[in-house]
């Protein structure tokens, strides 16, 4: 099958959309399919042996955002795909879906970013609400061109259906269990990193992800008051300075002997990222607007107990009391109480982490991509019925 992957984000930008596109491309190659990747430039010329076409872009909040120029149409016509895969479509992907619909090419849209919630969060009062409503109107219009829209979690699938998005189904995400694994806990590099981060034997509470307002990292301030712990943040983004100042102040204001200051390890990838997960004792995720939560899976694959909000994607990823804990984001102190209980109970942490690792063991990207190819076939069948 020839797959044209049109993505709103790609290398060198690192985020959940980029990770998903890269892993699907790798698995499509392993399964014997052909692909072309169309992404905002600048981008590498190739990836996994597939050509990458970098398209014109502008910078929006430190993200290169693709501009749907005629180069997109020409690239699609030259490649002549059997199916168009639109990864987290909003601008570039929206145009690709429209072009595919007009030319009769089956298209699958991968819904991944909760843009309406982000717009509502960043806009004050009625302005934010109006922006969110406008985003949903755009999403309905855009996804009407797709033969199938895939949601990464059941809560997100339900939300798409509530807002009238047609032809939807569920497709989760894989996790690289060959990279993210409990074996990193015995790695000499991990031991060295732990000695540097926890010289006093502190329990390390870790977060991995983009440092931006929508991730709600202000919630981590609740954890500053748990004695004998240290916050470790992996990632970067526009809120880096604000988050650093807020969490440092929260720790410094702790009564008695304060904990060590939070440490920011910056953006990491590959084995460096795997070691960072392995050095944590508890993984904490704070964002309530996640359609999935890939870092929760990576933490689970590393054998970590995961604490996340009882909202959105984490509801599908965390089995409360068995693989981790779900806190109530509407209840102040709930995150603190859940993490505090784990900090004081190392055997419980180990039991939850072992169950979490077992739960994700079968979620390889190749297996998930096989499912995705099945959705491609379904989209082709749907297209045939729509034009009949």
The answer to whether 297 and 314 have CB atoms below 8 angstroms apart is no
For the chain, the 3-state helix, strand and coil shares in percent, each to the nearest 5, are: 45, 20, 35
- Tell whether 117 and 265 lie within a shared domain: no
- Tell whether 16 and 151 lie within a shared domain: yes
pLDDT at residue 125, rounded to an integer:
73
- Tell whether 162 and 256 lie within a shared domain: no
Q: Provide the CATH number for the domain around residue 45.
A: 3.40.50.2000
pLDDT at residue 129, rounded to an integer:
83
Instruction: Sort 128 into a burial class: Cβ within 10 Å, 0-12 / 13-18 / 19+.
Output: middle
Place of tokens 């995150």: 335
83: its two tokens: 């199916």
- Tell whether 123 and 61 lie within a shared domain: yes
Domain presence at residue 340: yes
* Per-residue pLDDT tens digits for 324-345: 999 999 999 999 999 999 999 9
φ, ψ at 207 (rounded to 5°)? -130, 140
- Tell whether 210 and 305 lie within a shared domain: yes
SS3 state at 74 = helix
* Per-residue pLDDT tens digits for 41-98: 999 999 999 999 999 999 887 779 999 999 999 999 999 999 999 999 999 999 999 9
* Cα(259)–Cα(199) distance, integer angstroms: 12
* Per-residue pLDDT tens digits for 256-290: 889 999 999 999 999 999 999 999 999 999 999 99
The residue count for the chain? 388
CA 204, 210, 214 angle in degrees (round to 5)? 105
Q: What is the mean pLDDT of residues 20-44?
A: 97
Percent with pLDDT over 90 in the chain = 88
Q: What's the number of domains the chain is made of? A: 2
DSSP 245-286: HHHHHHHHT-SSSPPPPPEEEE---HHHHHHHHHH-SEEE--
The answer to whether 317 and 355 have CB atoms below 8 angstroms apart is no
- Tell whether 70 and 127 lie within a shared domain: yes
Confidence of residue 115 (pLDDT cuts 50, 70, 90): confident
- Tell whether 163 and 217 lie within a shared domain: no
Domain presence at residue 244: yes
Rounded to a whole number of angstroms, the distance between the first and last alpha carbons of the chain is 22
Domain presence at residue 388: no
- Domain residues for the domain of 127 are 2-174+364-382
Domain presence at residue 387: no
- Tell whether 346 and 264 lie within a shared domain: yes
* Cα(297)–Cα(371) distance, integer angstroms: 18
Residues in contact with 52: Cβ distance below 8 Å, sequence separation at least 6, in sequence order = 10, 36, 37, 38, 39, 43, 44, 45, 46
- Tell whether 60 and 121 lie within a shared domain: yes
Taking the CA atoms of 199, 203, 208 and 210 in sequence, report the sign of the dihedral they define. Answer: negative
Confidence of residue 122 (pLDDT cuts 50, 70, 90): low
- Tell whether 52 and 161 lie within a shared domain: yes
- Tell whether 225 and 327 lie within a shared domain: yes
* Per-residue pLDDT tens digits for 188-244: 999 999 999 999 999 999 999 999 999 999 999 999 989 999 999 999 999 999 999
Confidence of residue 349 (pLDDT cuts 50, 70, 90): very high
Closest CA to 200 of 224, 233, 228, 226: 228
* Cα(243)–Cα(75) distance, integer angstroms: 41
SS3 state at 168 = strand
pLDDT at residue 183, rounded to an integer:
97
Closest CA to 293 of 311, 276, 266, 269: 311
pTM: 0.90
* Per-residue pLDDT tens digits for 139-151: 999 999 999 999 9
- Tell whether 340 and 193 lie within a shared domain: yes
């Amino acid at each position: 099958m020839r797959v044209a992957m049109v993505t709103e984000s790609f290398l060198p930008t690192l985020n959940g959309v980029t990770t998903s596109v890269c892993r699907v491309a790798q698995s499509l190659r392993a399964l014997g399919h052909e692909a072309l990747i169309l992404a905002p430039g600048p981008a590498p010329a190739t990836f996994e042996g597939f050509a990458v076409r970098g398209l014109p872009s502008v910078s929006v909040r430190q993200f290169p955002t693709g501009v749907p120029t005629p180069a997109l149409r020409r690239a699609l016509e030259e490649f002549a795909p059997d199916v168009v895969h639109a990864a987290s479509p909003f601008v570039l992907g929206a145009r690709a879906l429209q072009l595919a619909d007009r030319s009769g090419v089956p298209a699958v849209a991968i819904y991944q970013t909760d843009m309406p919630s982000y717009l509502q969060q960043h806009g004050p009062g009625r302005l934010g609400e109006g922006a969110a409503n406008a985003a949903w109107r755009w999403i309905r219009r855009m996804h009407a061109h797709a033969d199938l829209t895939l949601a990464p979690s059941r809560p997100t699938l339900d939300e798409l259906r509530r807002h009238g998005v047609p032809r939807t189904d569920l497709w989760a995400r894989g996790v690289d269990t060959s990279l993210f694994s409990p074996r990193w806990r015995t790695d000499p590099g991990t031991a060295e990193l732990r000695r540097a981060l926890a010289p006093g034997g502190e329990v390390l509470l870790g977060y991995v992800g983009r440092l931006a307002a929508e991730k709600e990292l202000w919630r981590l301030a609740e954890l500053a008051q748990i004695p004998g712990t240290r916050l470790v943040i992996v990632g970067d983004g526009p809120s880096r300075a604000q988050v650093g100042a807020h969490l440092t102040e929260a720790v410094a204001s702790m009564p008695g002997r304060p904990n060590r200051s939070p440490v920011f390890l910056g953006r990491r990838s590959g084995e460096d990222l795997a070691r960072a997960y392995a050095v944590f004792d508890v993984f904490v995720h704070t964002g309530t607007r996640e359609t999935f939560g890939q870092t929760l899976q990576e933490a689970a694959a590393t054998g970590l107990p995961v604490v996340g909000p009882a909202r959105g994607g984490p509801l599908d990823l965390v089995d409360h009391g068995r693989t981790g804990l779900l806190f109530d984001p509407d209840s102040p102190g709930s995150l603190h109480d859940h993490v505090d209980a784990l900090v004081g109970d190392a055997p419980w942490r180990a039991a939850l982490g072992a169950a979490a690792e077992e739960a994700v063991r079968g979620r390889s990207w190749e297996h998930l991509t096989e499912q995705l190819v099945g959705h491609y076939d379904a989209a082709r069948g749907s297209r045939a019925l729509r034009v009949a």
